[in-house]
Amino acid sequence: YGPTESTTFAAWHAVEALAADAVTVPIGRPLSNTELYVLDAELQPVPVGVLGELYIGGDGLALGYLGRPELTAEKFVPHPFRTQAGARLYRTGDQVKQLPDGSVVYLGRLDSQVKVRGFRIELGEVESALSRCEGVSESVVVVREETPGIKRLVAYVVARTGAQVTTDGLRSELKARLPEYMVPAVFTVLPALPLTVNGKVDRKALPAPEASTEASESYEAPRTRTEETLAGVWARVLGVERVGVRENFFALGGDSILSIQVVAKAGQAGLKVTPKQLFQHPTVEQLAKVVEAVRGSVGEQGLVEGEAALTPIQRWFFEKELPQAHHFNQAVLLEAKEGVE
């Protein structure tokens, strides 16, 4: 292992045996006259097993980038653990961790970290989990934004020879390994990943995901007014053309953030839905039954006669013993930085 900035090679690892479930090998230990450090954002060493950025030092470092002093200053930083004048470290941008035996494991590029629906996600971590799924030979994960404002994780998978992989199977395996927000919303199986002339995955050449034939064949149209309303709300929030009554909200790319939008838009349409209900009943068919039951149960609307207990806010008000108890108001100013829908 080694970047050009450290004269091509910086670390080595002797492969003597591989575990049956191994998906990679460590990049190993430093070569002679070379230093490897796993540091955090403050250039401090991280504990064994904790993710950090790999920094390289030693005699093999290049002087810098020809004619690019700013990039040189950004990538070649003063050595925090050496007192010699001019000692430097090269920040690789590679995310790694150190094993108890001292060897280093490469995990991915830090510049492949993305932010989707408020969560920071390391694409390499998702790809690593995908590569451990049954029947998967190769995989790559990207962020796509077909609908403005709605970013989704899309996974492209190449199956092993003779193996069959399904969206449900992949999603089930990933949910056992990753948080819900890191599970791709869409899975696309390809015969092979597109490559650049250098043999690396050409992410720009990856095709736009299409709705699977299985999903289109299993589509069931809404049958009641409530189902029609919910299906319409889901389609607008998820940015899809249509939603069948038995399609799973989270399998379509929904998450906790989007569920709040569903609750709000459903309320505007006259349906009372809670996030908890949506998580417990993630299909239109299931949720419609709960919503109808909630809408159908109306509390007692008759007159209240006799003594009635004070509400918490009423009790608080009278306990204040204000000099003019007949007059009370409260003013609140809310300023929105962006347009409010």
The residue type found at 127 is E
Q: Is there a single domain that holds both residue 141 and residue 232?
A: no
- Write down the pLDDT at residue 212: 45
Phi, psi of 145 (to 5 degrees): -135, 70
Band of pLDDT at residue 130, cut at 50, 70 and 90: very high
Q: For residue range 289-331, what is the model confidence (pLDDT) as tens digits? A: 988 655 555 556 567 788 888 888 888 888 888 887 777 777 8
Instruction: Give the rounded percent of residues in the chain with a pLDDT score beyond 70.
Output: 90
User: What whole-number distance in Å separates Cα of residue 250 and Cα of residue 11?
Assistant: 42
Going 318 to 323 to 327 to 332, the CA torsion angle's sign is: negative
Please tell me the predicted confidence (pLDDT) of residue 329. Answer: 77
| 120: enclosing H helix or E strand | strand 119-122
pLDDT tens readout for residues 159-207: 999 898 888 889 889 988 888 778 888 889 999 999 988 788 898 899 9
Q: Which amino acid is at 228?
A: E
Q: Which residues of 113-151 are buried (b: 16+ CB within 10 A; e: fewer)?
A: ebebbeeebbbbbbbbbbeebebbebbbbbeeeeeeebb
Stated length of the chain: 341
* 39: helix, strand or coil: strand
Instruction: Write out the residue range of the structural domain in which residue 233 sits.
Output: 218-295
Q: Same domain for 179 and 256?
A: no
Provide the number of structural domains found in the chain.
3
Q: Alpha carbon of 270 to those of 148, 160, 297: distances in Å?
A: 27, 49, 15
Res 125 pLDDT > 90: no
Whether the model clears a pTM of 0.85, i.e. scores above it, the answer is no
Instruction: Tell me if 159 is assigned to some domain.
Output: yes
The alpha carbons of the chain give a radius of gyration, in whole angstroms, of 28
How far lies 235's CA from each of 166, 215, 251, 265, in Å? Answer: 23, 15, 13, 11
Task: Assign residue 231 the CATH number of its domain.
Answer: 1.10.1200.10
Residue 322 lies in a domain: no
CATH of the domain at 160: 3.30.300.30
